[in-house]
């Protein structure tokens, strides 16, 4: 059986993996859903100093403290950034990295870098003088691609449970310190989403 560490995307906590975790555990796997610092039940820790390195440490410390080996490390959306750094920090403990609606970020880039300037300006206006990025409205009409297939119950859960996300997690640059161990990345193209998905092998 495998060991999974599941990292959610922006605004979400470990709760977002509940059904996935239950299915995997039902198949006999060991599963660790992560809630990153400053989000969901850890929202009270969302100080201005919380950023990408904090979230990377969350993942690395979980794996080290639980003494996990041969980990299948899964990052959803914005969770792909700290997953990329965590896999770089402790490659000897990672069997495979799986990106869901994300991909391995190039060194020296941030999530914000992938938004056009006008979108960056809009997001920064939402934040104002604060340090938290508010969640979206989860409106399928405004974001049909990312919310496709979600029913009313799932959308209601997102609107109820999503919390603001530390801004620095989106603006800090990915910093890789070494080469991944044991394998290479290869792309898997998804025509339905027109995005590349990656995994280690």
Along the 201 residues of the chain, how does pLDDT read in single tens digits?
999 999 999 999 999 999 999 999 999 999 999 999 999 999 999 999 999 999 999 999 999 999 999 999 999 999 999 999 999 999 999 999 999 999 888 899 999 998 899 999 999 999 999 999 999 999 999 999 889 999 999 999 999 999 999 999 999 999 998 644 433 444 343 333 333 333 332
| Nearest to 89, CA basis, from 180, 172, 7 | 180
In the prediction, which pLDDT does 106 show? 87
Q: Is 77 part of the annotated catalytic residue set?
A: yes
Please pick, among 77, 110, 190, 194, the residue that the annotation labels catalytic.
77
Contacts of 77 (CB under 8 A, 6+ apart): 8, 9, 10, 100, 101, 102
């Amino acid at each position: 059986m495998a060991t999974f560490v599941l990292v959610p995307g922006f605004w979400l906590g470990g709760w977002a993996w509940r059904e996935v975790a239950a299915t995997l555990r039902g198949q006999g796997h060991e599963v660790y859903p992560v809630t990153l610092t400053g989000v969901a039940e850890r929202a009270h820790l969302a100080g201005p100093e919380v950023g990408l390195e904090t979230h990377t440490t969350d993942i690395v410390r979980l794996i080290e403290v639980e003494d996990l080996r041969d980990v299948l490390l899964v990052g959803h959306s914005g969770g792909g950034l700290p997953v990329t750094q965590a896999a770089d920090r402790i490659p000897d403990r990672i069997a495979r990295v799986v990106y869901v609606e994300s991909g391995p970020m190039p060194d020296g880039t941030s999530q914000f870098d992938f938004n056009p300037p006008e979108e960056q300006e809009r997001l920064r206006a939402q934040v104002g003088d604060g340090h938290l990025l508010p969640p979206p409205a989860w409106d399928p009409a405004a974001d049909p691609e990312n919310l496709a297939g979600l029913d009313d119950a799932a959308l209601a859960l997102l609107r109820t449970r999503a919390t603001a996300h530390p801004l620095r997690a989106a603006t800090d640059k990915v910093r890789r310190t070494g080469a991944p161990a044991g394998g290479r990345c290869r792309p898997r193209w998804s025509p339905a989403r027109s995005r590349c998905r990656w995994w280690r092998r």
